Amino acid sequence: MNTPGTKEEKLKALKERLAHYEGKLGFKMKRYRGVIHESAASEMKHQEVMVLRAMVDGLRREIADLENAPVT
């Protein structure tokens, strides 16, 4: 994967990734009802939701940091 060079290119790429993962998270959340203990399928769905949430949060932080970074 090529790393974009300018700040604007990096922001665009990050925002595209954010939109992609927000869409995936939204789809998974439609049927998410929490963890049903002793259900392997339920626990796997929970883990997937938690991973997607972490990815979305990380991308949001990275975008905010980049937007607030001084221009070099």
Tens of pLDDT, residue by residue over 37-69, are 888 988 899 999 999 999 999 999 999 999 998
Tens of pLDDT, residue by residue over 18-43, are 999 999 999 999 888 888 888 898 88
Taking the model in full, what pTM does it have?
Answer: 0.81
Dihedral through CA 26, CA 31, CA 37, CA 41, nearest 10? -90
Query: CB of 22 within 8 A of CB of 56?
Result: yes
